[in-house]
Amino acid sequence: MNKKRFSRSTLLYIPPEDLVLITDKNHYLYSPSAELPYDEDLVISIMLHGVLAPILVSKDGSQYEVILGRRRVKAAIEANIRLTGEGKMPIYVPSVIRCGGKSEEVKEIIATENKFNAGISHVSKANMASRLKKEGHSMRKIAEMFGTSRQNIENMLVIDSMPSEIKEAINEGKITSTCALALKSLPPDEQVSALNYIVTSNKNLTVGFIKDAVRTRAFESLPPSED
């Protein structure tokens, strides 16, 4: 892979592999997002369109340390692995260099990015948590990475194991992740049948109602879902 950096206008285009993601929790540039796995949807988007929005970096000697854009860098690294594997040209990441500035100001910038990352879909987070679990990370470590409880991580793993129809419905806002979790004890086909009933009933069904229906096996009488 050609690792040469080149400039265009006021931006510096850098191979994502050359960008440094700080993982030292005591470093002022640290953010938990640096330890999360890549977002599959973002990888695909970058493979098709490249990194559209510039990231923000700080230069430390010969290193470029990421201030903003950790998710894009992670996804770009994975995108390049796939692109070069297909014999295609790798992508570069447009980067703006921040000169000077106090560490407290940078921390505020990072805090803003963390708030933005909070908007990542529950299904994407569930997929990330599942990949981390498969890589051998403990539940405690995964919970620390996400800044949440072990119970929430366990719920994410349940969501990731559910049928694709359930996950699509969550992403589309047809059902909440809490309602979906209420269906977890049902077999996959019954989960989908229950989902179809929930989204087509034109009723504002509560989580309590869904849990009662699961407990009394009320969803068993529903017709099977159509593929």
The domain containing residue 56 runs over which residues? 6-119
User: Mean of the pLDDT values across residues 131-140?
Assistant: 86
- Which own/partner pairs from 132-141 qualify as long-range (CB within 8 Å, at least 24 positions apart)? 132/36, 132/37, 133/157, 135/37
Q: How would you label 131-170 residue by residue, b for 16+ Cβ within 10 Å and e otherwise?
A: bbbeeebebeebbbbbeeeeeebbbbbbbbebbebbbebb
107 and 175 belong to one structural domain: no
Q: What is the pLDDT of residue 5?
A: 54
Cβ contact 156:125 at 8 Å: yes
Q: Tell me: the pLDDT tens digits for 146-187?
A: 656 788 889 999 999 999 999 999 988 888 888 899 899 888
* Cβ contact 172:201 at 8 Å: no
Whether residue 110 sits in one domain with residue 141: no
Based on the fold, state whether residues 143 and 179 are members of the same structural domain.
no
Residue 63 lies in a domain: yes
CATH number of the domain residue 81 falls in: 3.90.1530.30
Reduce the DSSP state of residue 56 to 3 states and report it: strand
Q: What confidence score (pLDDT) does residue 106 get?
A: 64
Q: Model pTM greater than 0.85?
A: no
Provide the number of structural domains found in the chain.
Answer: 3
pLDDT in tens, 84-130: 999 999 999 999 887 655 556 666 666 656 555 555 678 888 888 89
Q: Which residues pair with 56 in a beta bridge?
A: 68, 96
Residue 219's pLDDT band, with cuts at 50, 70 and 90, is: low
